[in-house]
Amino acid sequence: MFYAPKNALFRRVSRRKFLELGGGVATALGVGSIAVGLNSTIFRSPVQAQSSDAAKWKQYDGSKLVFMSENTPPSFAIRDNLQAFYDLTGIEVEILTDDLPVVQQKVGIDLRGGNADFHLNYVQDKPIGSPFADFYADLTQYTGDDTLPQDPEGYGDDAWFENFLTACGVYYEPGRIVAFPYDCAVACTFYRQDLFEQLSKDFEAEYGYRMEFTDDTTWQNVQDFAAFFKKVREGGRDDIPYGYGQHQGSFAWTTQLDIQRMLFANGQWTEFDVDDKLGAKEPGPTKWGDEQSVLIMQKYKDQADVSHPDNLANGTLELNTVYQAGDIAMQVQYHEFAASIEDENTSRAAGGKTAYAACPKGDPEWIVGDGQAVNGCNCGIGGIGINAAASEDLKRAAYIFAQWAVSKDTQLHVLKELGGTPTRKSVLEVEEVAAARNRPTSMPNALTFEAVYDKGIRDPNFVLGPKIPEANEYHNIILTEVQRCVSGETSAEEACEEIRWQVDDMHDL
């Protein structure tokens, strides 16, 4: 009747014994690794389908789990709110947070080693999901399990925003779900309304159209705006900032996203001939090097030329800091950053100076062939997934946390506390949230919701890829070659050709 916990005491004892035996020596002799949890414990009281809800929530009372997450708002807010989860379930959850690259390293080592130090993982779509998808538990085996507490809204595609579940949860084959959408960072345009108004007349006199942001504003327009700001600034107006800044620095993934937006906007170009949302383990030869990619690479370089001088040094975070400091007038940035922009204590762009719009659209002139011009928008959808190497009971306990963490109530709480980024549609229907979309607002991120949830993430604007196991190396290749081109070391053709060669070489083609 009493379940003998598999991980708890046994593992602890084995670890201590191991140390007593001189763990290092034993390992050095090739005894190999012994699976040791980071203090995980599991206790179970059996429940049945007809048990009360309270009993289902409480079935792992006294257990302990570890969640490895990126240092994004939901994890901070949930960490502050863990008491509520503990009261509900009796499960103790330790949330570890780190920079994405560090999370990636640790999660990767944990998963590939077949261990389960971290039972719950932050599954960021391409950086973590793509390489490690096979190591996560299939959540569909739990979603229908009536011995577990379940979310009344369910977990179907329609419970989340368009594309979200597939983006972070489904890899390479339909049907297997490895993560629930936990948070998201969707690109949209942040721009300084006050400065746009101030310079509007002069701009119109020179370019013949108004300086404003609409859904039809194209990348060409953005380039015009940026060039104009730069000209004014360099003409001696120190109060006018530069116009634009790209995502560069050393954070490879966001540079790939940055140029991908432009590529997709102009004719919906993608890098491989595969299903963009599912991805592929063997995507075949890349399309880099074709005429469209070369043209956009050139345009991207032109854009860099009219950007902030620190352009190549600024990663996503630094770019946002530059915007906060009032040193650029526009940035295409992830909507979760709105909270930091609207904070009067840290930002000079706060207090109604900033407006938000969808990502810029493609320009017909920039399209080779007959592709469609769209508001190319991409994102990072962070999922919450469960380590397949954990014991069955640990996985079930982890599932209880996962479905709680992505529930409507939790997301609403996060949004209110720290400026979260909801993934469930129902959150937006809450009256408070709907009201917060307009100034003055208590939830600054809500100011972006129109640009993001009503426009950007919907087809045909949404692009995700490439979901390939080598995503991280791919990002790095893009970063290096794009920067070579932007800094004038190589021409657009050479850069695209170099990317093609390296990517195909990476895939042994």
Partner 1 sequence: MADTSSSTVELDGTADLASVMRDGRRTINYDPPHLNPVPSRQYYFYLMLPAIIILACITIYPFFWLIYMSLHKVDIGGAGDVWNDFKNWTRLTRDSKFQDGWWLLLKYSAMCMFMEVGLGVLLAVILNNSRAEKILVTIFLMPMMMAPVIAGLVWYYLYNGTFGWYHWLLESAGILGETSILGGTSTAMIGIVIVDVWQWTPLITLITLAGLKRVPRDQLEANMVDGAGPVRNFFQISLPNLYPFLLIAILLRFMDNFRFIDAILVLTGGGPANSTKILPTYLFDVSFQFFKLGRGAAIALTLLVVTIILGLILVRVFDSPASKTGQTQAGN
Partner 2 sequence: MASSDVVQYRSPARRLVEILTVVFLAVYLVWTVLPLFIMFVSSFKDLLEAFKLPPTGDWAGAWVFFDFTPTVQHYVDLFADNNFGTYLANSIIASLGSALISVVFGAMAAYSLSRIEFRGKRDLFFWIISTRMAPVVAVMVPLYAIFRGAGLVGTLPGLILAYTTFNLPFAIWILKGFFDNVPYAIEEAAMCDGCTRFQAFREILPLVAPGIGAFLVLCVLFAWNDFLFASIIGSGGAKTLPVATKELVQPQNIQWGKIMAAGVVTTAPMMFLGLLIRRYLVTGLTMGAVRE
Residue 275 in contact with partner 1, rule: CB under 8 A = no
Establish if 343 lies at the interface with partner 1 (CB under 8 A): no
Question: What distance, in Å, lies between the first and last C-alpha atoms of the chain?
Answer: 57
- Quick one: which segment of 45-53, 176-184, 432-440, 474-482 binds partner 1 (CB under 8 A)? 474-482
Check binding of 31 to partner 1 (CB under 8 A).
Answer: no
Nearer to partner 2, 104 or 407 (CB): 104
Out of 40, 104, 270, 286, the only residue in the binding site for partner 1 (CB under 8 A) is 104
Shortest distance, position 231 Cβ to partner 1, whole Å: 13
The tokens describing 31, both together, are 């005894």
For residue 34, the minimal CB distance to partner 2 (Å) is 6
With 0-12 / 13-18 / 19 or more C-beta atoms within 10 angstroms meaning exposed / middle / buried, residue 398 is buried
User: Contact at 8 Å (CB) between 355 and 191?
Assistant: yes
Question: Smaller CB distance to partner 2: residue 195 or 495?
Answer: 195
Q: Which of the stretches 80-88, 365-373, 413-421, 475-483 binds partner 1 when contact is defined by CB under 8 A?
A: 475-483
Answer with the entry of partner 1, partner 2, none that 15 interacts with (C-beta below 5 to 8 A by kind).
Answer: partner 2
C-alpha count within 13 angstroms, C-beta hemisphere, residue 72:
27
Instruction: Output 71 or 476, the one with its CB closest to partner 1.
Output: 476
118 vs 33: CA distance, rounded Å: 16
- Cβ proximity to partner 2: between 13 and 54 the closer is 13
Partner whose footprint covers residue 238, from partner 1, partner 2, none (CB < 5 to 8 Å by kind): partner 2
Instruction: Confirm or reject binding of residue 101 to partner 1 (CB under 8 A).
Output: yes
Segment 127 to 166, residues that bind partner 1, using CB under 8 A: 131
- Residues linked to residue 386 through DSSP beta bridges, in sequence order: 120
How far is C-alpha 134 from the geometric centre of its chain's CA atoms? 19
Residue 484 three-state SS: helix
Closest approach, Cβ 312 to partner 1, in A, equals 4
- Collapsed DSSP state (helix, strand, coil) of residue 63: coil
- The answer to whether residues 252 and 240 touch, using CB atoms and an 8 Å cutoff, is no
| DSSP track, 398-432 | HHHHHHHHTSHHHHHHHHHHH-----BHHHHHSHH
Residue 387 binds partner 1, judged by CB under 8 A: no
**Which chain residues interact with partner 2 by CB under 8 A?**
15, 18-19, 23-24, 26-28, 31-34, 36, 38, 70-73, 96, 98-99, 102, 105-106, 109, 113, 115, 117, 238, 317-318, 321, 324-325, 336-337, 339-340, 345-348, 419
Could you tell me the two tokens for 9? 């005491």
Q: How far is the CB of 142 from partner 2 (least distance, A)?
A: 27
> Which value, to the nearest 10 degrees, does the dihedral of the CA atoms of residues 369, 372, 377, 379 take?
-70
CA distances from 448 to 244, 327, 384, 491 (A): 19, 21, 24, 36
Asked if 99 touches partner 1 (CB under 8 A), the answer is no
Minimum CB–partner distance for residue 310 and partner 1 (Å): 4
Residue 163: phi and psi, rounded to 5, are 70, -10
- Cα–Cα separations (whole angstroms), residue 137 to 16, 200, 385: 29, 54, 7
Binding residue for partner 1 (CB under 8 A) from 17, 19, 31, 114?
114
Q: Which does residue 348 touch among partner 2, partner 1, none (CB within 5 to 8 A, set by kind)?
A: partner 2
Nearer to partner 2, 79 or 425 (CB): 79
Q: What are the counts of helices (DSSP H) followed by strands (DSSP E) for the chain?
A: 22, 7
Q: Which is nearer to partner 1, 67 or 251 (CB)?
A: 251
Query: 320 near 337, Cβ under 8 Å?
Result: yes
Contacting positions for partner 1 (CB under 8 A): 24-25, 27-28, 32-33, 101, 104-105, 108-109, 112-115, 131, 234, 248-252, 308-314, 318, 321-322, 325, 327, 470, 472-473, 476, 479-480, 483-484, 486-487, 489, 505
